[in-house]
Amino acid sequence: MSALGDKHLPIGVFDSGVGGLTVLRAMRERLPSESFVYLGDTARLPYGTKSTDTVTRYALQTVGTLVERRVKLLVVACNTATAAALPALTAAYPDIPVIGVVEPGAEAACRTTRNGSILVLATESTIRNGAYDRAIRARLPEARVTGIACSLFVSLAEEGWIDGPILEATAARYLEPLLAGEAAELPDTAVLACTHFPPLAGEIGKVLGPSVRLVDSAATTAAAVEKALDDGGLRRPGAEPGTLAFLTTDAPERFAKVGGIFLGHPLRVEDVELVAL
* Tens digit of each residue's pLDDT (9 = 90 or more) over 37-69: 999 999 999 999 999 999 999 999 999 999 999
- 110 a catalytic residue: no
Share above pLDDT 90 across residues of the chain, in percent, rounded to a whole number: 91
Residue 1 has pLDDT above 50, yes or no: no
**CA 74 – CA 63 distance, rounded (Å):** 8
**CA 102 – CA 123 distance, rounded (Å):** 13
Check if the beta carbon of residue 178 is closer than 8 Å to that of residue 119: yes
Strand boundaries in 90-225, DSSP class E: 98-100, 117-122, 144-149, 189-192, 213-215
**CA 220 – CA 232 distance, rounded (Å):** 18
* Tens digit of each residue's pLDDT (9 = 90 or more) over 101-121: 999 999 999 999 999 999 999
Which member of 71, 145, 154, 194 is catalytic? 194
Burial class from Cβ neighbours inside 10 Å (0-12, 13-18, 19+) for residue 41 reads: buried
| Collapsed DSSP state (helix, strand, coil) of residue 209 | coil
- 194 a catalytic residue: yes
* Tens digit of each residue's pLDDT (9 = 90 or more) over 192-247: 999 999 999 999 999 999 999 999 999 999 999 999 999 999 999 988 999 999 99
| Residue 165, C-beta contacts closer than 8 angstroms, at least 6 positions apart | none
Q: What is the mean pLDDT of the chain?
A: 94
Which member of 78, 122, 136, 228 is catalytic? 78
What is the reported pLDDT for 182?
A: 63
